[in-house]
Structure 1
Amino acid sequence: MSETLHKRKPPYLMLVILFIGAFVSFLNNSLLNVALPSIMKDLDIK
């Protein structure tokens, strides 16, 4: 019988991915809040 050894990935890798996702989400929300008034003005939405 042969046993396969699974190498564990470093736990900080998942944290880095989560922090990047949270940062992109925050950035998207901030940029949309700044751009939304001019978009509404261009589309004649009150």
Structure 2
Amino acid sequence: MLPLPIFFDLPPIYLQYLLAASVIALGVLISSILYVKTKDRL
């Protein structure tokens, strides 16, 4: 793994916001994919 000093320089609040945004985006992506797959079955 390459070192990412940029992330370590950020305050923890920004890191938490970034992590939350990533989790939300991933959840929306997975939900939309599952929705499309189940819609195709019906």
TM-score by length of 1: 0.58
Instruction: Name structure 2 gaps, 5 residues minimum.
Output: 1-10
Aligned-pair identity in percent equals: 10
Matched residue count = 31
Q: Could you give the per-residue CA deviations for residues 18-37 of structure 1, whole angstroms, max 9, x where no partner exists?
A: 00000000000000000013
Instruction: Give the one of 18, 30, 37 matched to 1:33.
Output: 37
1:9-28 matches, within 5 Å, as 10=13, 11-28=15-32
Higher RCO structure, 1 or 2 (CA under 8 Å, sep 6+): 2
Q: Please tell me the root mean square deviation across aligned C-alpha atoms, in Å.
A: 1.6
Q: Runs of 4 or more off by more than 3 Å in structure 1?
A: none
